[in-house]
Amino acid sequence: MEDKIFDIIIVGGGIVGTATFYRIQQYHPKLKIALLEKESRLAAHQTGHNSGVLHSGLYYKPGSLKAKNCVQGRRELVEFARENHIPHDVCGKVVVATEEAELPYLEKIYNTGIQNGLHGVEKITPEQIKEIEPFCEGIAGLFVPETGIIDFVESTKKMAEIAIATQPESELMLNTEAIDFSKDGDLNQVVTNKGTLKARYLIFCGGLQADRLARKANVKVREQVVGFRGDYYELTSEAKHKVRNLIYPVPNPAFPFLGVHFTRMTNGDIECGPNAVFTFKREGYGKTDFNLKDTIDALSYRGTWKLFFNNMSFGINEYRRAFSKRRFLKTLQRLIPSLTMEDIHPGRSGVRAMLLSSDGDTRDDFRIEYRDSEIHVLNAPSPAATASLAIGNNIREMAEKHFNI
């Protein structure tokens, strides 16, 4: 590996890093690019543990990077899936209000969707809700036809496959962890667990490790990534008929999560969740997973405690629900009252990276910065998977502007 010199090294093989690889290689087929992933497979963390939803762009502040990239990226990803036979279905979803207090927020997200250029979003009555989802109960709702489901892992694999086929001298390096970074004249050196690589330019798409990678590259990042685990339940085979596609609650505007919802997966399973609880391990998917460094980093950071104190009741309720099937069921019953304890069983979990400021504020929009010969994706929470091709295109344009490619 000592003699290998690339034009660009991309650190991080989630869907954002891989989409960046794909986009740059697509526009610049002569460039030699290395995609580094520390795990044995692509999409091993946030990409492979999310709900598989193709988000429409309903919730995001008009004009924000999230809004623009989600809408554009969704269209691009659907086209990519069609061309490459990736399992997906633009099936639409319902957003359901179950009490009067939610109606103003339902109206707000309706208007946000219209401002973001969504097509076909419509307000629906309780009767129309039941026509779409017969077991769902609500007092008002929205139908959002452009929401869908997709296999993000297969999408990621296909992007890498196409990029490698475009330029055989480019490489996908699995089981390769970037440990340290330095300069060797005009070149960047990346020390890995398998040796040292060199490249003219570096792009960091580290997800849950984004802040640490940036600091290792001597970038001053004021905020810190804190992980929140989301647990899912699944409907049993006997109960799957109670959900046709996607059912969402009206999100509570006080919290940076969309709430527990129902998702039909591309394999036909029905997931219910996620909740949102602080995790003691950034890449920990079990309820008792623990990492000392991750815990110390999070709990010694002022922003973590500010977030806790600002959302105390919410956090306590989420923890109770994480360890109580009955409490989880009660939340699900707000949307589908007929569900019983026998209808659900524990499913998988995911961890979401949140970039927190020192005052406990979540940096909610995407954040991508460049410095010298580096680009850093510092914050790419949901809907980053949906928006991945648009984000990859933004990074490609940034690289063209600031790098000599």
- The pLDDT score that the predictor gives to residue 305 is 92
- The pLDDT score that the predictor gives to residue 108 is 96
pLDDT at residue 254 tops 80: no
Q: Position 347: which residue type?
A: G
Conformational region of residue 200, where left means phi above 0, alpha means psi within -120 to 50, and beta covers everything else:
alpha
Query: Three-state DSSP class for 218?
Result: coil
Residues 6+ apart with CB under 8 A from 71: 56, 57, 116, 117, 118
pLDDT at residue 28 tops 80: yes
pLDDT at residue 363 tops 80: no
Task: Give residue-wise pLDDT tens across range 114-158.
Answer: 999 999 999 999 999 999 999 999 999 999 999 999 999 999 999
Residues of the chain with CATH 3.30.9: 224-248+260-362
Question: Which percentage of the chain shows pLDDT scores above 70?
Answer: 98
Task: Give residue-wise pLDDT tens across range 171-198.
Answer: 999 999 999 999 999 999 999 999 999 9
pLDDT at residue 385 tops 90: yes
- The pLDDT score that the predictor gives to residue 106 is 97
Q: Which two tokens stand for residue 273?
A: 């969740």
pLDDT at residue 364 tops 90: no
Q: Which two tokens stand for residue 258?
A: 């969309």
Give DSSP secondary structure letters for 278-330.
Answer: E-SSTT--STT---HHHHHHHHTSHHHHHHHHHTHHHHHHHHHHHT-HHHHHH
> pLDDT averaged over the chain?
94
CB 263 within 8 A of CB 298: no
Among the listed residues 2, 11, 1, the one whose alpha carbon sits nearest the alpha carbon of residue 209: 11
- The pLDDT score that the predictor gives to residue 276 is 85
Q: Which CATH architecture has domain 224-248+260-362?
A: 2-Layer Sandwich (3.30)
- Taking only Cα atoms into account, the Rg of the chain, rounded to an integer number of angstroms, comes to 21
- The pLDDT score that the predictor gives to residue 2 is 54
Task: Give residue-wise pLDDT tens across range 48-85.
Answer: 999 899 999 999 999 999 999 999 999 999 999 999 99
Give DSSP secondary structure letters for 360-401.
Answer: S-B--S-EEEEETTEEEEEE--TTTTTTHHHHHHHHHHHHHH
- The pLDDT score that the predictor gives to residue 5 is 93
CA–CA dist 159, 8 (Å, integer)? 17
Mean pLDDT of 245-270: 88
CA–CA dist 35, 20 (Å, integer)? 10
Task: Please give the CATH topology (third level) of the domain spanning 5-47+153-222+364-402.
Answer: FAD/NAD(P)-binding domain (3.50.50)
* Entry pTM: 0.95
- The confidence band for 256, taking pLDDT boundaries of 50, 70 and 90, is low
DSSP 24: H
Among the listed residues 311, 344, 303, the one whose alpha carbon sits nearest the alpha carbon of residue 327: 344
Among the listed residues 398, 370, 374, 363, the one whose alpha carbon sits nearest the alpha carbon of residue 66: 363
Q: How far apart are the first and last CA of the chain?
A: 23
Q: Which residue has the tokens 């490249």?
A: 199
Residues of the chain with CATH 3.50.50.60: 5-47+153-222+364-402
DSSP 186: T
- The pLDDT score that the predictor gives to residue 404 is 84
- The pLDDT score that the predictor gives to residue 320 is 77
CB 403 within 8 A of CB 383: no
